[in-house]
Amino acid sequence: VLAMLQSRFGYPVRLVNMDQVYIDPEDVQDFKNGLIIDDDHADWIGAASPLGAELEPVAGTLEDVNDVDYFRLDWADTTFIYFYTLGDTDTYGRLLDADGVELASDDDTGPQLNFQVQETLTPGTYFIEVRRVDSGTEPGAYTLTWTTY
């Protein structure tokens, strides 16, 4: 299967499972509806965009209803942390552990139908998944914001 994917797309890809194809994070793109579409953040935790410890907000765009954005957080302390999105796009978010197991999720309890997740993190690697809930056809912008207590 991998050889067929490489020859069809013309660049190296790795089959993650039957639902996901991994494309080198240097050139993150989604293969959707027969088209290659530029994507601002990866659709797979293995190529997740890193979040720094400085707690800076991160802008994102969900290109369509099937787009998913992943962010990676390497955390060094035990801390209560609060993640949420801002913007007009109705978002759904999940906090995942290093193995991709869901620790928490939310849909509409944040501002403007955005998600918010609150959790105590211990040292380790975590991922935040952001996806679109509405069925709009235009790209949906959001800002991932987070703070600690």
Of the candidates 87, 82, 89, 98, the one whose C-alpha atom is nearest the C-alpha of residue 68 is 89
Query: Against a cut of 0.75, is the pTM above it?
Result: no
Each residue of 94-106: pLDDT tens digit? 999 999 999 999 9
Each residue of 9-37: pLDDT tens digit? 444 444 444 445 555 444 444 444 444 45
As a dihedral over the C-alpha atoms of residue 133, residue 135, residue 141, residue 145, rounded to 10 degrees, the angle is: 0
